Amino acid sequence: MPSQHFSVALFLAIRSIQRGNRFTFFLTVMIMGLVFVNLVFLPSIISGVVVNFNSQSINYNYGNLVIEPRENEVYISGVSEVKQKISQIPGISGSSPRFSAGATYHYHDNQLSGQITGFNPRYEQEVTLIHTKMKDGDFLAEGDTDSIVLGTSLAGNIDERLDQVDSLGGVTTGDSIDVTFSNGVRRTLRVKGIIESGVYSVDRTAFITLKEIESVYGLSDTATILLVKLDGDGQEDKYKRILMEYGIAERIRTYQEKGLGFVNDAIRSFEIINAISTMVSLVIAIVVIFIVIFINTINKRRQIGILKAIGINKNIIVYSYIIQVFIIASCGILLGLLFSSGLVLYLTYKPLMFPGGAVLPVVEAGSIIRSIMSLALVSLISGFIPSWKTANEPILDAIRGN
Amino acid sequence: MIEVLDVTRVYQMGLVEVQALRGVRCSIQQGEFVGIMGPSGSGKSTLLHILGLLDSPTSGTVTIDGTDVGLLKEQEKSEFRLNHLGYVFQDYALVPELSVRENVVLPAMARGAPPDTYLKESEEILRQVGLGHRIDHRQYELSGGEQQRVAIARALINRPGILFADEPCANLDSNTSRTILNLFRELNEKYGQTIIMVTHEEWHEEFMCRVLYMKDGLIDGEKACKMRENKN
């Protein structure tokens, strides 16, 4: 493209925007901005769900890695030896053996089945953040016996209308509840504290010390799983290999592998919704830009014909429309970024509440770049087609409006 | 110099063939102010469009300063129009978003002229057409006559060899028309500008060197105008 073509096209485009119909310009920019928000917003919520799920998985459910019993075995036996091996590996900040079993809780006339987990409170604090989420009372201590800590949705409320799921009907710290373990042993335990983590699986579970549960099942130095916490996230696969190299023969899974299923299905569904929403947004952008430029070129058909007649190259005319569309799309993208930032800021202070807890939107650079590229591309294409069509009309047809 | 040889132009209007030109033959010398007159449908505008490279003849040749313009490709025709021809249309056809000066300099910008040159030239031409005081005004601030003078200034910015005017006074009152025609005459007499103008009005003849009369797609007659005859 000769440089004078570009400078004339730029000149015409800028003047057209400066002195043309400002209402149409601002309206188009506004629509582009909203389309951009739509392109960025849903992926940011999906990313937020993923980040939320990952952090909950690591901080409350699994740590970074989970060691499980060998195939065809129910328990990890010789846990202290496994833990000893793990403690020698640099980059691992802690490990916590857990023993989980089914149990039925009895409180007054209420009876509820669920899961009970035993752990060593000191080790657990090296791995998860459950101890930081005490709503009431205290976390378990290493030597505690006959004590239990309940998740808040398991403990429930006296006013059952406040419960989102079935509960024990308002257990409070200091109360005693009866627990029937899966082997039939029944014990009365004093409630030492109530946990409110916002993580459904934690708030629905009861916790006792490992020592207590081992005494119930008559086992020692055993666990159903062993959680491993790394110094930093994102190196799970590497440490999985290292653990194997250190001679741990049990099954090792990353927290992502453990979470496969429910969350992945949810994310997949989200992504389908996002794809549909993205497509609809882009179609709206295409239609808006196409209509704006189409009406503009139809209204200026005669003028375009005259410009061609006086020797203005048709490419200059097409470029001038493409530049206009580029300016509209750029302003729309900037406005969209502004709107999105405002929305993200708002939702950071007032997060969306999902069943898995509060979800903060996470805007990823890749999603922004994809949105910018796709919006710019569809805008340019939908601006190019009508301007090219009009600029290629025979001069006299354009001038006469045939 | 323009040489027109056996030019025909046939339009297809649905199933009907319309013969707008039936073998026009004429020549126009450099520095002439030639009027093309005739009744509606006589083919005068078609001839002007073909001479101005806005339309192509069905057969025949048009040669401008030795170039057979029928052989030019679309891109070359566009450049030829930009560099050698100027146009004034009936309804001015200015770009409303541009100021008077910006409208005028547009063809020079497209030609790649340096800004200093075209800005200076535009001021000079606008003074010439009597709009030196309206340089930064917009189209909506101008009268019809002023808009037409802007269109003339725009047509002249690239110093075209030939200026085409398609009924430039059709939308103007007689006083304003006279101002425009005087301007054309001045351009023609003072600067030797070749002008070819289509008009309906017989009284316009007094401003021209020569008039070609058209009828039924052919040049039916021509005459040298009195005033110019007297002058010569």
> Is the separation of the CB atoms in B93 and B165 below 8 Å?
no
The beta-carbon neighbor of A20 closest among B80, B81, B97 is: B97
CA–CA separation, A199 vs A202, rounded Å?
Answer: 5
User: Closest Cα of chain B to A20: distance in Å?
Assistant: 6
DSSP for A10-71, written as a single string: HHHHHHHHHHS-HHHHHHHHHHHHHHHHHHHHHHHHHHHHHHHHHHHIIIIIIBSEEEEPPT
Beta-carbon neighbour count of residue A290 at 10 Å? 19
Q: Which residue of B has its CA nearest to A309?
A: B54
User: Closest Cα of chain B to A297: distance in Å?
Assistant: 13
> Which residue's structure tokens are 């990890």?
A76
Of A314, A321, A316, A319, the residue nearest A294 (C-alpha): A321
Q: Which residue of A has its CA nearest to B52?
A: A309
pLDDT for position A398 = 87
Q: Which residue of A has its CA nearest to B85?
A: A310
Half-sphere exposure of A2 (CA within 13 A, CB side): 14
Which tokens sit at A292? 């704006």
Mutation site, A8, A301, A310, A402, interface B, largest B CB count within 10 A: A310
Residues of A with CB under 8 A from a CB of B: 2-5, 7-8, 11-12, 15-16, 18-20, 302-303, 306-314, 316, 395-396, 399
The beta-carbon neighbor of A2 closest among B95, B98, B112 is: B112
- Contact call for A19 and B138, based on CB within 8 A: yes
The domain that contains B139 carries what CATH number? 3.40.50.300
DSSP label at A293?
H
Number of domains in chain B: 1
CA–CA separation, B40 vs A253, rounded Å?
Answer: 90
Instruction: Kindly report the length of chain A.
Output: 402
Of B18, B22, B80, B76, the residue nearest B51 (C-alpha): B80
Q: Are strands A222-223 and A225-230 parallel, antiparallel or unpaired?
A: unpaired
Mean pLDDT, consecutive 10-residue segments, chain B of 232 residues? Answer: 93 86 92 92 92 93 92 91 90 88 93 91 88 90 89 89 89 84 86 90 86 92 65 44
E-assigned strand segments in B126-177: 162-166
- Contact call for A309 and B52, based on CB within 8 A: yes
CA–CA separation, A177 vs A179, rounded Å?
Answer: 6
- Who's near B71: CB < 8 A, 6+ residues apart? none
> Which residue's structure tokens are 């009895």?
A106
CA–CA separation, B147 vs B157, rounded Å?
Answer: 15
- Contact call for A15 and B98, based on CB within 8 A: yes
How many helices (H) and strands (E) in chain B?
7, 10
> Is the separation of the CB atoms in B142 and B89 below 8 Å?
no
pLDDT for position A399 = 83
3 state DSSP class of A8: helix
> Is the separation of the CB atoms in B109 and A4 below 8 Å?
yes
- Contact call for B111 and A4, based on CB within 8 A: yes
pLDDT in tens, chain A (402 residues): 667 788 999 999 999 999 888 898 999 899 889 988 988 888 888 888 888 888 888 999 899 999 999 988 889 988 999 999 898 899 999 999 999 999 999 998 889 999 999 999 999 999 999 999 999 999 999 888 899 999 999 999 888 778 888 889 889 999 999 999 999 999 999 999 999 988 888 999 999 999 999 999 998 899 999 999 999 888 899 999 999 998 888 899 998 888 766 667 777 787 788 888 888 888 888 888 888 888 888 888 888 888 898 889 999 999 999 999 999 999 999 999 999 999 999 998 998 887 667 888 888 888 889 889 988 998 888 889 989 998 998 888 888 776
pLDDT for position A1 = 63
Type of residue at B208: M
Which tokens sit at A352? 């969306």
> Is the separation of the CB atoms in A104 and A179 below 8 Å?
yes
Mutation site, B109, B119, B137, interface A, largest A CB count within 10 A: B109
pLDDT for position A171 = 92
For helices B100-111 and A3-19, what crossing angle results, to 10°? Answer: 160
pLDDT for position A262 = 64
Residues of A in contact with B81 (CB under 8 A): 309-311
pLDDT for position A266 = 75
Type of residue at A270: F
Q: What is the residue range of B224's domain?
A: 2-231
CA–CA separation, B56 vs B9, rounded Å?
Answer: 8
Reported as type and span, the H/E element at residue A397 is: helix A395-400
Does the predicted model carry a pTM greater than 0.90?
Answer: no
- Contact call for A309 and B106, based on CB within 8 A: no
Q: Which residue of B has its CA nearest to A402?
A: B13
- Contact call for B49 and A308, based on CB within 8 A: no
Q: What's the ipTM? A: 0.86
- Who's near A29: CB < 8 A, 6+ residues apart? A328, A331, A332, A335
- Contact call for A15 and B49, based on CB within 8 A: no
3 state DSSP class of A242: helix
- Contact call for B97 and A19, based on CB within 8 A: yes
State phi, psi for B84 to the nearest 5 degrees: -120, -15
User: Closest Cα of chain A to B88: distance in Å?
Assistant: 9
